Amino acid sequence: MKVVSRWIGLLLLALLALQIYFVARIALMTVLAPESTAFQRSEAYRIAHSTGHLPWRQQWVDYNQISDNLKRAVIASEDDAFIHHDGVDWASLEKAWARNSKAEQRAEQRGSSKPPKVVGGSTITQQLAKNLFLSGERTLLRKAQELVLTMALELILGKRRILEIYLNNVEWGEGVFGAEAAAQHYYGKHAAQLSSMEAARLAVMLPRPKYFEKLPNSPYVWGRASVITARMPDAQLPE
């Protein structure tokens, strides 16, 4: 029994040490930009392993060097309650859970072996937490760690810094990361110069960037971008 208790104690200490490490990393981000994210490192390995070389586009730009059009477009598309929630939009999460449950039930009724499309309810902060530190696996343990990291990001960094780091590191294509690289890659201009429609089209790409990179002018992209453009005036930016 003492051996079991000792192992449990060691496990809890290791878990605590991991949380302290994460908090320290986040605290550094108040003054230093992250050099890379866990997702970027995994993508770099995948691309280099599959192609033998590493095409990579990324350039950090400060918050004021990113067009407000892009900030509003991303908030309108990904997280319209961004400045109001504490990192988790519980209402959206509940709706996503309900939609996924219904999709699973319909798949079972049809006898389909293909898993239904999973609808996410993650906020910008949750997406950043996952991309910065975690793997892409879908487990309760990983989700619990994501929630802890989300709360830490909100408490330590604040909304403006969270949005700045997110926009500088989010994926916009194969080896294309961040707003500046995306603006240069798709439009040949700086992130500060993006128009409303250009920004909205980039926002459309976020859930499936590598897919939409091949179809940047598809009817879906244009149609969805028009919807986002109409929502952008209501998107509130952090001060």
Q: Residue written as tokens 């309108």?
A: 76
The two tokens of residue 151 are 């709360």
| pLDDT by residue, tens only, the chain of 239 residues | 777 777 888 788 888 898 999 999 999 999 999 989 999 999 999 999 888 888 899 999 999 999 999 999 999 999 999 999 999 988 776 776 666 666 556 656 666 555 444 445 699 999 999 999 998 777 888 888 999 999 999 999 999 999 999 999 999 999 999 999 999 999 999 999 999 999 999 999 999 999 999 998 999 999 999 999 999 999 999 98
Angle between helix 140-156 and helix 159-169 axes, rounded to 10 deg = 120
**H or E segment and range at residue 172:** strand 171-173
Per-residue confidence (pLDDT) for residue 105, from 0 to 100: 64
117 with 100: CB under 8 angstroms? Answer: no
Q: How large is the C-alpha radius of gyration of the chain?
A: 19
Per-residue confidence (pLDDT) for residue 117, from 0 to 100: 47
User: CA-CA distance, 197 to 203, in Å (whole number)?
Assistant: 10
Q: Residue written as tokens 């890659």?
A: 185
User: CA-CA distance, 76 to 118, in Å (whole number)?
Assistant: 20
The two tokens of residue 45 are 């390995």
Domain locations in the chain as residue ranges: 35-88+123-234
Per-residue confidence (pLDDT) for residue 100, from 0 to 100: 60
Please report the DSSP string for 64-90 in residue order: GGS-HHHHHHHHHHH-TTTTTSSS--H
Per-residue confidence (pLDDT) for residue 106, from 0 to 100: 64
User: CA-CA distance, 72 to 23, in Å (whole number)?
Assistant: 28
**Fold for domain 35-88+123-234?**
Penicillin binding protein transpeptidase fold (1.10.3810)
CA 96 to chain centre: 16
74 with 203: CB under 8 angstroms? Answer: yes
Per-residue confidence (pLDDT) for residue 212, from 0 to 100: 95
CA 167 to chain centre: 9
Per-residue confidence (pLDDT) for residue 139, from 0 to 100: 82
